Amino acid sequence: MSPRDEVHRLLGPPEHSFPTWNKSGYSEHYADGAYNVGYDNAWLADHVGFSPGAVEVMINAQLIWSGECQQDPNPIFLALDPEPVEFVGFWNFLQLGVTTTGYHDDDESQRGITVFPRPHIDYLVAKAKPADTSRYTAA
């Protein structure tokens, strides 16, 4: 069974499947876009992304999002990894393997959380800059 077959066994068939914009893999979408699984060109999963509202998201048994409440996840992630880096509008919490977008810059249309295996994102470290966390740390 291929890794993609295993994902389909666990989640069922996707509603939509698309090549990525840069042809580096594919993205399959579930539950009307509530979450997606990204793959490289060998169909190995390299991330799972979540949109607010339709899924419950937790880390270390701490609720981040529920169906009713999708609070800004950055304070929770900052407590666990206080030095995220920013690249192309995403905050990358490298110690956690998590990215967030849409919260630090108040862009509601871009809000999301993505989890990834660390080796997949290592190339960003050289290109990223320290995230400006001042809106979360100002007294």
pLDDT tens for 3-47 read: 899 999 999 999 999 999 889 899 999 999 899 999 999 999 999
Q: What is the DSSP string of 48-83?
A: EEE-TTSS-EEETTEEEE-SS-B--SHHHHHHH-S-
pLDDT tens for residues 71-126? Answer: 999 999 999 999 999 988 899 999 999 999 999 998 888 999 999 886 666 666 77
Q: In angstroms, rounded to a whole number, what is the distance separating the alpha carbons of residues 9 and 72? A: 32
pLDDT at 139 over 60: no
The predicted model scores a pTM of 0.87
For 93-99, the CB contacts below 8 A with 24+ separation are 94/118, 94/121, 94/125, 96/59, 97/121, 98/59
**Phi and psi at residue 35, in whole multiples of 5°?**
-150, 160
